[in-house]
Amino acid sequence: MLQACLNGSRTKDFHAFTPLTPAELATDAALAVAAGASELHLHPRGADGAETLEPAAVAAAIEAIRARLPDTPIGLSTHAGIAPGGAGRLAAVQAWQVLPDYVSVNLIEEDAPEMIRLCLSRGIGIEAGLWSAADAERFVALPEARQVLRILIEINEQDAAEGLEVAAAIRKVLARASLDLPILQHGFDASKWALYQDAMMRGLDTRIGLEDGKLMPDGSEAEGNAALVKEAFRMARLPPNTVPDTVAAG
């Protein structure tokens, strides 16, 4: 499965075609799905353009996309830095009237267990975000660990070799716990394409999009999310030894 991560915390200053408004998100989502993406991950924005979990903004983004793509799963982030921030995020999620199919919850955050329980109680799937082996250890100890939709191995390290080592350490913890759950592995900026290639080689789900970086494997700037998705599928068809060395510079 290839998920398109449309915007994250990026702005128009990062890339001119970063989708922010509900209309932009719906148009960009349709292009990404037409290019081959099967699921979506996005960060709704308020009137000021800032990330938010405020119910009206969440509803507007989801409804705009579902009007174009009624059968495509939509996921949101619950990152602690998204407004209203901190514990206020739990109240915001509790107030949602239009629900996403799933949310990502970062185990590095103190209130991750509470966010997981709240979303599960509302019928929202969970992507458990693991940034380190320590996150993985915390996750596998949760009573709800086997109830999540999937595990996200989220690599923030910018050195590709270091990032691959961190991903391997996370997978080792998960293997010891014998959790039979789908795994989505992805990198960020300089590690984006290396972690994508590694996920493909291992038969894992993965994601690509402007949230994780705007560069193509050759270092050029992508035209947008659809171009990144198309390139991901092109790379997936190549023998591993033909992938350019510059994938580490994504």
| pLDDT surpassing 50 at residue 245 | no
CB 140 within 8 A of CB 161: no
Give tens-digit pLDDT for 102-158: 999 999 999 999 999 999 999 999 999 999 999 999 999 999 999 999 999 999 999
CA distance 152 to 205: 9
Cα radius of gyration (the chain): 17
Q: Could you please report the per-residue DSSP string of 149-173?
A: SEEEEE---SSHHHHHHHHHHHHHH
Confidence bin at 237 (pLDDT 50/70/90): confident
Q: What is the pLDDT of residue 244?
A: 47
Per the confidence metrics, is the pTM higher than 0.75? yes
User: Up-side HSE of residue 73: CA atoms within 13 Å toward CB?
Assistant: 16
Separation between Cα atoms, residue 73 and residue 101, nearest integer Å: 6
Are 127 and 148 a contacting pair, CB within 8 Å? yes
The pLDDT value recorded for residue 250 is 41
**What span, in angstroms and rounded, lies between the C-alpha atoms of 168 and 171?**
5
What pLDDT is attached to residue 240? 53
What's residue 186's pLDDT? 97
pLDDT, tens only, 37-70? 999 999 999 999 999 999 999 999 999 999 999 9
**Neighbouring C-beta atoms of residue 16, cutoff 10 Å:** 10
Token pair 């320590």: residue:
134
Tell me the per-residue pLDDT of 157-206, one tens digit each, with 9 for 90 and over. Answer: 999 999 999 999 999 999 999 988 999 999 999 999 999 999 999 999 99
Q: Where are the domains of the chain?
A: 2-249
Contacts of 227 (CB under 8 A, 6+ apart): 35, 216
Instruction: Tell me the per-residue pLDDT of 80-96, one tens digit each, with 9 for 90 and over.
Output: 999 999 889 999 999 99
Q: What is the pLDDT of residue 61?
A: 98
| Domain 2-249 superfamily per CATH | Aldolase class I (3.20.20.70)
